[in-house]
Copies of this chain bind each other. A is one copy, B any other.
């Protein structure tokens, strides 16, 4: 028929994702996206519809990457110790030489306001629910725990993930280690 795309959508979205990860949604402009994605505004809009569209795809891309860690977690039989390993895996995953990025999901949750985009909110809450289930099923590997304890500890771990995400952006390695060590003393 006609001309072919000179870029691969998966590739340019990965670049966009890294930019959003570093700078957040509000601070990232279309101008910055053009430069980082290496394609024109027209191409961005024809592929993804809007800045929000680029962001939603970026979130999906991030979730896919994070899902590799979660799959490893799910495959383990080490119960709560596997969750501790996941925390360390996450630190390694979110580390960057120049800048501490934290977790794109929790960064976005922190950036969220009452009137923020509904679609993005749903992506976030779906992810949180999924992670919650995985944590719970890992905790249940210790059959001595009753469901009330499972619920309590799951809530504790989810909030701890938020603390850890902020921590990877703001604090040093020693402080992170101290944090993680004590988190799992309590379980």
Contact = CB atoms under 8 A, between A and B. Distances in A.
Interface of A: 22-24, 26-27, 98-99, 102, 106-107, 109-111, 113-114, 151-153, 155-156, 158-164, 166-167, 169-171, 174-176, 178-179, 181-183, 185-187
A171 B186 contact: no
How would you classify the secondary structure of chain A's contact residues: helix, strand, loop or mixed? Answer: helix
A156 B169 contact: no
A155 B158 CA distance: 19
Contact of A111 (B24, B153, B162, B175): B24
Nearest to A182: B156
Q: Which 10 A-B pairs have the closest CB atoms?
A: A163-B163, A155-B178, A162-B166, A156-B182, A155-B175, A159-B179, A152-B178, A185-B186, A26-B26, A110-B110
A179 B153 CA distance: 8
A58 to B, nearest CB: 17
A44 B15 CA distance: 39
Which of A27, A99, A102, A175: most chain B CB closer than 10 A?
A: A175
Contacts of A156: 178-179, 181-183
